Structure 1
């Protein structure tokens, strides 16, 4: 008997398949139509797309393997007795067995490659010298519980899979073990064939359900079970392959146990030939009772197979209880792929650099993304922060910069965009924007180009934080034509960039901000999220964008229950703010953190916003232990009642000087003249009410400085932007190590919140499932 084996990812070679594409021109044309690019160029031209990228590797290998098989059948006129494939190669084995035609198989592989290509932040490594039981024992002994066994390639070549940092940590462990001959990290971007593929598996399962499979004409050995496929479970088994161990050793042992068996590798290279030879040298055949396996040609397990009965029982259980949700599977896989994240978790930019460069770096190295808070900082400080962040991070690690809209000083916004473009900052968090500005459009335009398949590729991404549908609509639309024409006329963008701007939304993604710390419209997440996701769907349909816009959730997220609600409402990612202000990395004073650590959910209030003082916009701030909310409201009340300082009675003015400002109004005004442009001062001299506004607004800048510097004598005047999420977080971690802010680190908080949210979701789903039964 003979078994044809088909190789998987890792067997790709330069110029593979040469001569076959012309021989099977009709199938090559069919492949080009399905893929949207030239399969021949992908495999034979180095300057074309990168064949080593998972998204392209898998279709390339499937096609070349298929052509090699067709050529082999043409030459011999015979088909094999059994077929098997290593991971991706299993699709060619199923093609050879008649489960589907070439076109269907390529569509499946294309989707599989796209899903697996999105998985980032993971790694794999080959451990040579230990068997699977020994590898499992090492992982258990050293508490490497986040790592799975991905491939059992030979009895003593085991591949492990997990988060990149965990694989690196495992390397230091295995390299100290005597019998380990080699620990070899693999050049992959994701943790394939592991729990981290659960979400991709679920999406693929939905996709594969739309296809029809034909009866198998040749037994196909499953990677998952190391036994022939069961026809009735073909789709399920193929889906399971994505997150299950590739049991290659036992698959070959099973085939060895069928009798006198020859193996022939069909496809590029001889990787499997070498593995099979080592298996033959190191392992005995796996003898199965013939009653457990149908005769060759049926391709199905017998109904009397105990393995089948056990499997069917497990499947019945699985149909009621879905795959376990993990911290890594929460949120949108595509979002995590695009931003190179392990977790769908962001930390928003807090004013005056409170969201510090240390916070951003910490988040990035943990597979999350933070935004440096530029509001209230000069360009030099922002530039220093960007250089520091870029100097500490590796290529591809995600970070971003926050930009707060300044409607009165648009030139500062333009200068900030110049800085971001200069240093190629790719991720921008746009906060407090009421409309799309030319500065944002210019940032979005730079680096726009088309891919070989015609899709628009964006170098610069904007995540817009919004809380009003009309603002969301402007960010979900292409850039306003009048703004694009103006920028084009000023030679700030090119003709090509102007054309491509009309094909994409202004924002790559939006983040719906409910009631939060700082600037807030006091929105309710339960109302906002459904409205915004519905609006997103409408705009996607209206403009026919190639790529889905993701919707995140922010505001009020400080506990697993809140995060769970956000994801259940359809959030593709979550963004936290207030809870990060009370951490080691937050660039505010220890005295502020001591206050924040003691607050509860009722300890915040709404106060006038200093940067939008005249309009009466509100910010949410800490009220426990401080007078700022009351004093800020008093100043705004005075501004509304009077036309100038001269109209205010002397007793009130004295109170302002002694209690609020801690200096005379004259000295306050002198300080203002040092920090404001000449035009602003001239306006104040002409307009007494504007002068009063500038003096009152000075208190807001002063109170922020007091808090950040930690002034002891003026503690009651601290202005601390904060929402009730931190109060909820404090109650959640009460009695634990995290009760003390000195033990709180932004990355630990993010991981704990995501992990506990996943556990909570699993518990709730189990309860609902039990109730349904």
Structure 2
């Protein structure tokens, strides 16, 4: 009998897979799409040194192992048994038919992300001591927080634990005759109790994956025995925090009659171990049975017990220490930031589009939309990202320096690995702001943007979306950046569903802001793969009705997918009014591929607004909102939806707009109205307010507005009135108690609906409403609603 063995992390090298990529272009195309970049370049050239970083090592090695396996299957019969060391186990399961190539790559990508987040741990290979001797050594030196991580051979054991404890272990090993140690270049204590947080998050992810029973027996790292047909996900989750029983696995292969083993991997890592165990097994055979002594193989604390095996004999072939793997340094998480909770609910994870979840790397088809002036804060976005979800930082209304600081902080936050986005808000009054923000986002390699308030596709949007776009080896166009376009009108959605206009692409190429290759790929892709239909919601609103808009836009997406011949269908999401599980369930029934929440996240500990505002929001009911003029589009009469209860902003803002429509200048206002304006709204004399307004427009480079105001008294009146909107927004975020009556709080009825839903539960106090808990409640509740309602209808 023969076995195929697949190497794990440490076997990678630059140039791996050189003779394989051209043979299997379809595999390469899938990998490029899943990873968002060229896997060939990563493996063959490694231009930026990522190949030795866990997050990239694991998917790259999985791909090369899979190509090598495909080449072998094309030339010879398959094996009788399979096994893989740590990461290599995924290739063994692929060869056994437990999942297809793409599914396996998505699993491995998520595994690499989670393991790459580990920080503060270390691993050390101990050579020359049996596992029980290593355990005794750990006990003697007081390293109680160090576990046996890899039981590779009879005399090679890798231990894992906190870095400070590893220094003690290294000293103890060096003082032991016949023993030596080799530190491994990892940032985490892999395969030990210290990975249990990652294990829980990975288990939640695996709940969303469908596995098939192995067609060929695969020896599991966790047990040293074949995988059962119904627990592939369970063992894979346990593997992250359990020791790799490789020595026991190899002995199991021999016990089952394997005499020939073939290794798959860029470096010869496993063959020497196999030879060692074969020699050891031969020595066991020569030993009289009556003289044999059996002992259990020691395991790390908390790991499952194993079936006892023969006492290890000295290896006849020198053991080989696995090569190092590198993980990039991460910014430590502040100790007062609790780990996001994970809810295991496969039904919730299946709602919406599976392709959307895969493309965005999320555990739910769920996004948290941006909120103006950083209300959707760094803390909010980071918390969601660490929980396997995504939020968009609220860049609207903020200066570029503030946005740059936020983007830099998100990029350095451990556990996100790019799972964050930024809002790109269309500004009719300041056209250059879009280009400047896109320049910043590209400079910091931000991959995800939520585009809002656009009435058509602009050059800045196209430039962001298609920067880095390319065609794969088979000619398939690929964009490495995602754009979720919020639209409340089908005709606007149609612009984003179409490829960019040829003349616009020609212009961007001529300007040097897109390369010809990027423009060529863009011509075959929609400006936005994902369109979010915006019903009546907080902030700027057209008062749209989701019941009509979502199915209409979904039907439009189907027609345009066919018209433009896209390889992948356009996806439609829903936002606005999503404050209860029933509302979220309704969105999915209407045909939404994903949902985007808003108001409910503003009343969370992570939202970037004051406690006073959160107290106000937590007391709202569904009827406690109103419409008011939008400060940025005051003259046009655009509206925002705001909190009405507890503040007079809506009434005062509507009165200001009435005065603007019915008077030609401030001089036309009667004395009573002027007194009200200065006392209740502006909170200062008109002359002082005008000086402050002039200073603001000069400082922001828009002095032309002042020139126009000198010529047009009505425009001067508009600028003075608009200062009220800026001040009331800022006062609410800062929680200024003297301005409570003027708080401008963008909010929709969803906030009141959520308050009613959580009344009497643990989430009634807003300080308990962490953003990932809100997501879990809405999504798991929606799954339950759909199940119960469908059962009732049946």
Q: Which residue of 1 aligns with 2:707?
A: 682
Residue 452 to residue 34, structure 1, CA distance change in 2 (3 Å): closer
Residue 225 to residue 533, structure 1, CA distance change in 2 (3 Å): farther
Of 643, 657, 666, 1:636 maps to 657
* TM-fit CA distance, 1:638: 2.7
- 1:284-325 deviation digits (Å, cap 9, x = unpaired): 9999xxxxxxxxxxxxxxxxxxxxxxxxxxxxxxxxxxx951
Q: Does 1:185 align with 2:177?
A: no
Q: Which residue of 1 aligns with 2:380?
A: 359
Q: Which residue of 2 aligns with 1:699?
A: 724
* TM-fit CA distance, 1:715: 1.8
5+ residue gaps, structure 1: 22-27, 74-78, 95-104, 132-149, 160-166, 288-322
Q: Does 1:518 align with 2:539?
A: yes
- 1:142-170 deviation digits (Å, cap 9, x = unpaired): xxxxxxxx9999999999xxxxxxx999x
Of 730, 734, 739, 1:714 maps to 739
Q: Which residue of 2 aligns with 1:266?
A: 262
* TM-fit CA distance, 1:29: 7.9
* TM-fit CA distance, 1:620: 0.6
Q: Does 1:506 align with 2:527?
A: yes
Q: Which residue of 2 aligns with 1:536?
A: 557
- 1:221-271 deviation digits (Å, cap 9, x = unpaired): 7879999999xx9xx99999988989999998988887xx34421333536
Of 573, 577, 586, 2:598 maps to 577
Of 122, 125, 128, 2:114 maps to 122
* TM-fit CA distance, 1:721: 0.6
Q: Distance in 2 between matches of 1:257 and 1:768?
A: 53
Q: How does 1:357-396 map to 2 (within 5 A)?
A: 357-393=378-414, 396=417
* TM-fit CA distance, 1:220: 5.4
Q: Distance in 2 between matches of 1:751 and 1:516?
A: 21
Q: Distance in 2 between matches of 1:685 and 1:764?
A: 60
Q: Which residue of 2 aligns with 1:481?
A: 502
Q: Which residue of 1 aligns with 2:336?
A: none
Moved more, 414-423 or 611-620: 414-423
Q: Distance in 2 between matches of 1:636 and 1:38?
A: 55
Residue 151 to residue 465, structure 1, CA distance change in 2 (3 Å): farther
Q: Distance in 1 between matches of 2:45 and 2:744?
A: 57
Q: Does 1:432 align with 2:432?
A: no
Would the aligned equivalents of 1:253 and 1:286 in 2 still touch at CA under 8 Å? no
5+ residue gaps, structure 2: 33-38, 133-148, 170-180, 285-293, 298-305, 309-343
- 1:447-494 deviation digits (Å, cap 9, x = unpaired): 333444544443543222222222211112222333333334444444
Q: Distance in 2 between matches of 1:671 and 1:445?
A: 41
Q: Which residue of 1 aligns with 2:423?
A: 402
Q: Which residue of 2 aligns with 1:163?
A: none
- 1:625-649 deviation digits (Å, cap 9, x = unpaired): 1111112222222333344445444
Which secondary structure state, in structure 2, belongs to the residue aligned with residue 696 of structure 1? helix
Q: Distance in 2 between matches of 1:43 and 1:716?
A: 59
Residue 546 to residue 678, structure 1, CA distance change in 2 (3 Å): same
Moved more, 661-670 or 330-339: 330-339
Aligned residue-pair number: 667
Q: Distance in 2 between matches of 1:63 and 1:349?
A: 41
Q: Which residue of 2 aligns with 1:302?
A: none
Q: Distance in 1 between matches of 2:296 and 2:64?
A: 33
Residue 418 to residue 650, structure 1, CA distance change in 2 (3 Å): same
Question: If the length of structure 2 is used for normalisation, what is the TM-score?
Answer: 0.68
Q: Distance in 2 between matches of 1:16 and 1:386?
A: 33
- 1:388-421 deviation digits (Å, cap 9, x = unpaired): 4445457824332222211122022222223333
Of 733, 741, 752, 2:758 maps to 733
Q: How does 1:215-294 map to 2 (within 5 A)?
A: 261-268=257-264, 270=270, 273=274
Q: Which residue of 2 aligns with 1:111?
A: 102
Q: Distance in 2 between matches of 1:764 and 1:534?
A: 25
Would the aligned equivalents of 2:15 and 2:44 in 1 still touch at CA under 8 Å? no
Q: Distance in 2 between matches of 1:18 and 1:517?
A: 51
Q: Distance in 1 between matches of 2:60 and 2:460?
A: 36
Over the aligned positions, Cα root-mean-square deviation in angstroms equals: 5.4
Q: Does 1:61 align with 2:65?
A: yes
Would the aligned equivalents of 2:203 and 2:234 in 1 still touch at CA under 8 Å? no
Residue 275 to residue 403, structure 1, CA distance change in 2 (3 Å): farther
- 1:578-609 deviation digits (Å, cap 9, x = unpaired): 22322333332332222122112211111111
Q: Distance in 2 between matches of 1:58 and 1:18?
A: 11
Residue 471 to residue 154, structure 1, CA distance change in 2 (3 Å): farther
Q: Distance in 2 between matches of 1:35 and 1:61?
A: 13
Would the aligned equivalents of 2:12 and 2:57 in 1 still touch at CA under 8 Å? no
- 1:530-580 deviation digits (Å, cap 9, x = unpaired): 333333333333333455554433222333443444445554443332223
- 1:614-668 deviation digits (Å, cap 9, x = unpaired): 2221111000011111122222223333444454444334333333323344443
Q: Which residue of 2 aligns with 1:553?
A: 574
Q: Does 1:201 align with 2:205?
A: no
Q: Distance in 1 between matches of 2:41 and 2:636?
A: 62
Which secondary structure state, in structure 1, belongs to the residue aligned with residue 635 of structure 2? coil
- 1:157-200 deviation digits (Å, cap 9, x = unpaired): 999xxxxxxx999x99xx99xxxx99951699997997445466
Which secondary structure state, in structure 2, belongs to the residue aligned with residue 553 of structure 1? strand
Q: Distance in 2 between matches of 1:241 and 1:455?
A: 36
